Amino acid sequence: MLIPVTDHIKLVEAPQKGRFPWAHGLLVEDATTVLIDTGFGQESLNQLKKIKIDYLLNSHFHEDHVLLNRAFPDVPLLAPAEDADGLRCRQTYIDWYGFEVFNAAEIGRRFMAAFDWMESKVSGEFSEGQVWELGECRMEAVHTPGHTNGHYAFWFPREKVLFTADIDLTGFGPWYGNLTSDVDEFIASIKRLQSLGAEIAVTSHKGIIDSNLNQQWERYLNRIYEREEKLLKYLSSPHTLDEIAAQKIMYGRHPEPEDEYFFFERCKVFNHLQRLLRLGWAEEREGKYISTRSSVYGF
């Protein structure tokens, strides 16, 4: 279903309210018509097939945002310069997810098979500051790393509409479970998007948000700090990466397939530990991590 945001901007609705493995997209119908992300399922695809699309853009390389790229073989695909290789190269995708680094090659094979993952033919790349004059709409690419190195949001300054992609403002909070993820960059990206002063945010997994945006940004950002406080408390004594991941601080629970959730928990913990090590708030000693501070935020 296509849901109007403004006269020219529409949410491309995904099944199950955009919950993974689905993701909402964005359609801009103007003098030039642009579609951003393709994880929206068959019903919306049927509607889009009736529309002449000039350009297809991906916000980053993740499977739930690129799944139906293959349904638009004749439409030029533009990808973020920093993430383009993860779209067009299977091995790069595997490397960036960390399946081989974390000894999870079999999980990687299952994960990719579940999505019937295919390489995408990238026609061109964009980077920070790219502007598209689409007609009445002006769209700007905003580099927002953290989720992935090449994650982008898209800003419509005239309409004060922001497509935030996977800076998604969900209650689950920020996801940083790839080798190319970075917690400090994620924090900076959240703050940057908040500073734009958007009146409407459209996110990949929550949809249209048009009220209490400042509160939503703050709540979302605080999820990182809440996890951090739990990590620091647990690390009052030394623990291995696997022992920390078993506490389920990031996900809260590990439903089936449990080994996949444990893998991504482990990746997220690893990335969060890198932030703590950089800050000097934790140390690594003989393969175990220990906090150098018992409390930071006082939650």
Stretch among 160-174, 226-240, 247-261, 285-299 having the lowest mean pLDDT:
285-299
**Are 75 and 141 in a shared domain?**
yes
**Are 8 and 128 in a shared domain?**
yes
**Are 178 and 276 in a shared domain?**
no
Residue 223 lies in a domain: no
pLDDT category of residue 102 using cuts at 50, 70 and 90? confident
How high is the pLDDT of residue 294? Answer: 53
String of DSSP letters for the chain: -EEESSSSEEEEPPGGGG-TT---EEEE-SSS-EEE---SHHHHHHHHTTS--SEEE-SSS-HHHHTTGGG-TTS-EEEETTTHHHHH-HHHHHHHHTTTTTT-HHHHHHHHHHTT-------EEE-TT-EEE-SS-EEEEEE-TTSSTT-EEEEETTTTEEEEET----TT-----STT--HHHHHHHHHHHHHT--SEEEETTTEEE-S-HHHHHHHHHHHHHHHHHHHHHHTTS-B-HHHHHTT-TTTS---SSHHHHHHHHHHHHHHHHHHHHHHTSEEEETTEEEES-S-SS--
Residue 221 lies in a domain: no
Residue 246 lies in a domain: yes
**Are 184 and 37 in a shared domain?**
yes
**Are 193 and 269 in a shared domain?**
no
pLDDT category of residue 297 using cuts at 50, 70 and 90? very low
pTM of structure: 0.95
Residue 220 lies in a domain: no
**Are 169 and 271 in a shared domain?**
no
pLDDT category of residue 231 using cuts at 50, 70 and 90? very high
Residue range(s) defining the domain that contains residue 191? 2-210
**Are 166 and 257 in a shared domain?**
no
How high is the pLDDT of residue 298? Answer: 43
**Are 238 and 205 in a shared domain?**
no
**Are 136 and 183 in a shared domain?**
yes
pLDDT category of residue 293 using cuts at 50, 70 and 90? confident
Residue 122 lies in a domain: yes
What pLDDT, in 10s, does the model give residues 113-140?
998 999 999 999 999 999 999 999 999 9
**Are 114 and 254 in a shared domain?**
no
**Are 181 and 265 in a shared domain?**
no
What pLDDT, in 10s, does the model give residues 69-78?
999 999 999 9
**Are 206 and 249 in a shared domain?**
no
Number of structural domains, the chain? 2
What pLDDT, in 10s, does the model give residues 160-211?
999 999 999 999 999 999 999 999 999 999 999 999 999 999 999 999 999 9
Which CATH number fits the domain that encloses residue 121? 3.60.15.10
Residue 225 lies in a domain: no
For range 17-22, the mean pLDDT: 93
Residue 40 lies in a domain: yes
